[in-house]
A and B are shown apart, each in its own frame.
Chain A
Amino acid sequence: MIEYSEADNKMVLKLVYYGPAMSGKTTNLLTLHEQLSSDSRGELMVLDTADDRTIFFDLLPFFLITPSGLKIKLKVYTVPGQVKHDATRKAVLQRADGVVFIADSQVGEQAKNANSFENLEQNIALVGLDIETLPLVIQFNKRDLADIIPEEALLEKWQQTGIPVLFSSALTGEGVIETFAAIAGLVYGHLDEKFGLAALHRLSRDSFVDQLCCRAEP
């Protein structure tokens, strides 16, 4: 959590889209920005990129107010995927409330996925978070491409870890909101335990997820 002010009745949360370079983290955010209603979200801020590669991070903020009047701001970040930007990844990962790991479904990209996931595990520990309790989902992106690992194989490998696995094609927009809803649900559970979102603020899980994932009018 970035900050929680009882005086201002405001809570600022952080969600991080992690993953290897070119796996589609920024595209996920672009799709969310495009498909979700501007009622709940702010503007997408893309910080200086070079050749379409993220150097710092992208930011898409979301807002909602609980029936009790608590203002919740959810800031969704991407990290730079390239190996050399590890320091930036650590900085962005600090105090995250949830992580979405964007993996590349293509057969030839599995080693990069594994390296990046290992890097995520290391950095989570380095910034003082606990991978056992931190809300985490995995999205296998680029399902629209030809040479990809079949869903069954991926599920068989990852289901035993207990981490929810989703499939998407960020370019066409499939599975992006579902991934966002999945991590939002997990983050809600985590927050509810600590801050009593349901009991004290009368905000249910469904209401939390629905408000964040409110689709734009066509």
Chain B
Amino acid sequence: MKKYHEQIEYLVGQEPNLVELLQAAEIRELLREAVNAGAAWILLTLDDGSVVCSEEGRSIPPEFREIRAPLSLEGENIGTIIVRGDSGCSALGGISAMLRSAIMIVMHNNLKRMLTAEMHTSLVTRTYDELLSKNLDLSASEARYRELAQSLELKVKERTEQLGIANARLLQQEKMVSIGQLAAGVAHEINNPIGFIKSNLATLKKYSGRLLEMLAWYEERTADSPLLAAGAAAKKTELKLELVKSDIWDLLAQSLAGAERVKKIVADLKGVSHIDESVDREFDLAQEVERIMTVIQPQIPDDAVIVQEIEPTPKIPGSGALFCQALANLIQNACLARPAGLKLTIAARCANGLVRFSVADNGPGVPPELRNRIFDPFFTTRKVGEGTGMGLAVVYDIINKSGGNIFVADTLGGGAMFVIEYPVAAVEGV
């Protein structure tokens, strides 16, 4: 609305400027002809007293008369034509009337011309301005679309990458969930049989004691009869009962220990998958380390030396299951970095406002130029098909989401040390 007002300068209805409507040059010829026709002196004045034009004959007659005729425009009187001439000049009335009529027509036509011309000009100007602004808008829009078209390819590539990463993460998470569920299912199924195996083994141990006791009793009684004793000894030797007697306790003890171990593995499997907990609010570092070490044991080479320097720390906010997953990934990486002669140091302590947890190996370490890339999704130094490049990306995600920070450093011996730090403020906030 405001814009429109600024553009319209000419107002339809403005009172006409009379001087513009009656220019001396235009009507001088008329006045001259009137003088030629017999008028002695003609004066044309406007209402405000200004003289537009005047014309004189050769001489003013001594006896003259004067005729005044009003000029009007749009119905208003705006001026006067004064005609003087010889008193005897009969044509003076006619001259005055014709002059008035002619000048009125000139004025009227000039007014019309002015109105139409000004209207036309103002409309043309406004239309031009509108076109100009429209053109400007169009140019801007065109530039925007051109830029859009150029960057589209780039954007598509970028988005495709993001999509791929999101997809891989999702896949990894699903995988972990399935593994967790599988582990929990297996653990649940094994729990029952291992329970009665353990219990039966204990009973079997008790029964075996009784059988051996019976055997001793028989031996004692047959000692009095040499014939019977010799037969019994021969049979005993044939059945290798001396060996059985000494071995039976070892077998039972080993079986019981094995069953005990299976029971512990099952418990840790359940712990790692955290199947019993609906939502973890916080977890204990030492407990999670113990659980994962049991479960991951078969993947660790036999000659590996594992050092645990776990000091008590406050509980960490977040999911223990996810932390286990991160820890498992770090340990698996260490095993791959140093297949033989691995020395793995897992440490946790609380100092300087930070809970500091580290996993260090004695492998080749991470070259400095790769350190800011190893946490990127799909970044891997392994051969195609051997690594997905998602392991450390998942670790990074897990630690970041629980408010921690992870980075890689050197160990004294040149291996890699992954350090995870949780600010104590965040820890204490729980």
A contacts, CB < 8 Å to B:
2-3, 12, 14, 38, 41-43, 45, 47-48, 56-57, 59, 61, 63, 73, 75, 77, 87-88, 90-92, 94-95, 125-128
Contacts and interface: CB of A to CB of B under 8 A. Distances in A.
Given A45-B112, A56-B119, 4 more contacts: A12-B15, A42-B76, A88-B119, A88-B123
A94 B1 CA distance: 12
A147 B76 CA distance: 43
Contacts of B111: 45
A125 B2 CA distance: 11
Given A2-B11, A45-B111, A75-B13, A56 B116 contact: yes
Contact of B13 (A14, A38, A63, A87): A14
B190 interface: no
A71 to B, nearest CB: 9
A38 B75 CA distance: 9
Interface string B1-26: 10011001011111100000000000
Interface in B7-47: 8, 10-15
A57 B12 contact: yes
Contacts of A73: 76
28 contacts: A2-B14, A3-B14, A3-B15, A41-B75, A42-B76, A45-B108, A47-B112, A47-B116, A48-B116, A56-B116, A57-B119, A61-B75, A61-B76, A63-B75, A63-B76, A75-B13, A87-B123, A88-B119, A90-B8, A91-B10, A91-B12, A91-B122, A94-B8, A94-B11, A125-B1, A126-B1, A126-B4, A127-B1
Contacts of B4: 90, 126-127
B112 A12 contact: no
Nearest to B123: A87
B400 interface: no
For B13, B14, B75, the residue with the greatest tally of chain A CB atoms inside 10 Å of its CB is B13
Contact of B119 (A12, A41, A91): A91
Given A47-B112, A47-B116, A128-B5, A2 B13 contact: yes
Contacts of A48: 112, 116
A42 B73 CA distance: 8
B1 A128 contact: yes
Contacts of A12: 13, 15
A87 B15 contact: no
Contact of B12 (A38, A61, A94, A126): A94
B220 interface: no
Interface string B100-142: 0000000010011001100100110011000000000000000
Given A43-B75, A128-B1, A77 B115 contact: no
B74 interface: yes
B115 A56 contact: yes
Given A56-B119, A88-B119, A88-B123, A95 B11 contact: yes
Contacts of B115: 47, 56
A47 B120 CA distance: 12
A87 B13 CA distance: 16
Nearest to A128: B1
Interface in B68-84: 72, 74-76
Contacts of A43: 74-75
Nearest to B4: A126
A34 to B, nearest CB: 15
B170 to A, nearest CB: 54
A-B residue pairs, 5 tightest by C-beta: A42-B75, A2-B13, A42-B74, A61-B74, A92-B12
B122 to A, nearest CB: 7
For A12, A48, A94, A127, the residue with the greatest tally of chain B CB atoms inside 10 Å of its CB is A94
A42 B4 CA distance: 31
Given A87-B123, A90-B4, A128-B1, A45 B74 contact: yes
A163 to B, nearest CB: 23
Contacts of A45: 74, 108, 111-112
Contact of A87 (B5, B72, B116, B126): B126
Contacts of B127: 87
B5 A77 contact: no
Nearest to B73: A42
A41 B4 CA distance: 32
A59 B76 CA distance: 14
A152 B218 CA distance: 133
A54 to B, nearest CB: 12
Nearest to B2: A128
Contacts of B122: 91
Contacts of B12: 14, 57, 77, 91-92, 94
B119 to A, nearest CB: 5
Nearest to B120: A56
Interface in B317-345: none
B127 to A, nearest CB: 7
A48 B119 CA distance: 12
Contacts of B1: 125-128
Contacts of B10: 91
A125 B10 CA distance: 19
Nearest to B75: A42
A41 B74 CA distance: 8
A90 B126 CA distance: 11
Contacts of B108: 45
A128 B116 CA distance: 24
Nearest to A71: B76
A139 B126 CA distance: 32
Nearest to B111: A45
A73 B15 CA distance: 10
A88 B123 CA distance: 7
